[in-house]
Structure 1
Amino acid sequence: MKCCSGFEKPSPIQAHSWPFLLDGRDLIGIAATGSGKTLAFGVPALVHILNHKKKEKKHSKGSRCLVLSPTRELAQQIAAVLEEAGASCGVKVVCLYGGSSKGPQYSSLRSGCDIVVATPGRLQDFVDEGVCKLDQITYLVLDEADRMLDLGFEPAVRAIVSHIPQERQTIMLSATWPTSVQKLAQEFIQDASPVKITVGSEDLSANHDVTQIVEVLDDKSRDRRLQELLRLYHKTKRNRVLVFVLYKKEAVRVENFLQKQGWKVTGIHGDKSQQARNQALSAFKDGSHPLLIATDVAARGLDIPDVEFVINYSFPLTTEDYVHRIGRTGRAGKKGTAHTFFTTADKARAGELVNILREARQIVPEELLKFGAHVKKKESKLYGAHFRELAADAPKAQKITFDVSDEE
């Protein structure tokens, strides 16, 4: 296959997944970002579709494969990989996502496709409107399952899966394996004993191919320090450098600031239209603007080739997002460097960051240890810190109904 022609060998998640998926097994895959998960489920998906086409006397226009993704950019990336992989065997792919007109996506659905790659919100709209039928889906993929739950997509995912036949092959992929994802897997996977493949650790850990440098500094020193690092890391002005910020307004300010300093820079954030976001990513990939300022919209799943350096201008709200940010470099076996600014405003996440650095055998700066190594207990979004997280296989609560009330 053309998509694998440049491989010396499959990545670990691909090598271990392919035999089971080609055998029709349900599968749970836990692997770090940049490990080749798209083709891990993508190659067996193509085989699955072609096998069904051989069995059918008349080729149906119904889609056989559905891939759910948490973000527009990731959905587009998955669709591009599957499109390229399936081109030689006539497999058609449609990508559905919000933030753009429904018209072209509706037309693509009407013309027929084999694989639907979609964000949950837009797909639910099309299903509710009767535009997209899921009654022939036999291969379901939930990619970045942990992120879909974080973004509040659980109701939409449940509604979508309710339209899919129970006789299907289900694949769930995640970078972490929290209890919430375990529960979702138990509900959606039909196989009583699905194959579970873990590459690395189920706990939160960073890519070991990335050198992590953490610098504790004053908030007002960040602009000056950013320029110094760019002169060091981006002195050729041709290599790709990705700078992460926290907020949309911050992204605009940093982008404008660097433009005035003469850097070829572009930006991607939630306030930009989908067209503008696509243009920014294209300019970054083709090297016309090799410096990209991004919010966490670009942190998860995006496969941007040959990013040499990631600079965290602002520390993210969670250490999970930190791991995914720095995972934009050091991909596909290459080495990378992530340089992170850490201020007193971020001290609540110091303990978690120390643990990630130690697990990856990175240098822990003394200034970071001064904030303490305490890890704050994870809070429930509904109940705060006063909750007990139950195991995925915990028995359900028993409902008791009283026949007579005290008032009678």
Structure 2
Amino acid sequence: MYDILVVDDDLFALALLEEQLKDYGDFFTPVYASNGKEAIEILGQVEISLLVTDLIMPGEINGWHLIEYIENFHPNIPIVVITGCKDEEKVTALEGRVREILLKPIRVKQLVKIVTNILNEDIASGNLKGVSVGSFLQLLEMDEKTCLLEVGTSPRNKGLLYIHQGKLYDAEYGDLQEYEAACRLIAMDNVSFKIKALPKLEIRRRIKGELMSIIMDAMKLKDEVKLCELELPPQTNDGEQRHRVFEGDWHQSVRDDDDEEDDPIIMPTAQPPRATEVAEQDRVPPQPSCSAEGCTGNLESILERLRGIKGYKGSGIMDFSGETLASDCLDSNLNLARAGAVFNDVFRSAQETAATSGLHVCNELTLKTRDFVIILCASGDASVVPFHLIAILDKDGNQALTRIQLAKIIPLAAQELN
């Protein structure tokens, strides 16, 4: 799955994009920022595969500054510009520096077609910078692709993943084979990919289980042994990896829906702001329960992922009664246990009210005090054992990035609790 970053100070436009892009969540996940500064913070903590940005934005970092930042620090991220800028000369000067320039008003389907075409072009050329192994495997699974995928960080540090109709059949990494090799390859960072077409030969499925379960095991292994710099295991006796080939071909599929009926238009207008939300994560299969002491330690370690966010004060995981299962607090003056219990009751009340009123289930709630912002979210279908997450920021904290990280924490916490 790809993460694409959408930046626009028009919060009404962002809200409209968020609503419409949900239909394309099987291919990419949009991440939203309302200004250039917030976008740079997200780029530092999230693997972004493509940037969509406006040009005219208030603050120190406008769209032109953001494009220059991408060119200097993330040159492999393709850029799409959407703008209502009337200065034709300044807009034209961006040609050659960005992949596409769209003038507002634009249609959402027009933007989606351009984004998917760019991502698919990168796949076809093997240029997959900024894409994790797990995300790419999920894309192959979704499209039921058949291929031999070579994954590596260097010519001497690489392995093979055998994919048949989207299913992971086998893997090789030096002397490692099957499930263990797959986990090691999926845990790699900053990889390059090569997709190989091979002669016809039947392949046996040696790796069982769902892909998401394998990815979660790989991430857990990565956290435990700190596989930040993976080394190539010893080669096999003949110095070559086994090459088992199976029937299949490789082709790309691009959404090509020219039907413009009910396709919203993004206009260059300012409207009242609306808070954005993060797309729900895939359901995580139940895992064996852990001991209370070990589980708490793992949960607290998971919460520490929030520490790098601007304005972060503390966070907690609670059951539905308001009891704190794990917490992480950076502010000694903050009574996180009491705050969590009180706001947990408020959240439960909001959920019950939504349910009895015939509204959709309330999975997220944002509360603001004079100096702080409190974000609460529910585990929902991601966990057999239901729980709530709470994160507390100062009033200038990065709420967008907090929501992104909370969405990623939910399946990890669910794995520990189930």
TM-score (norm 1): 0.26
Structure with greater proportional helix content: 1
Structure with greater proportional strand content: 2
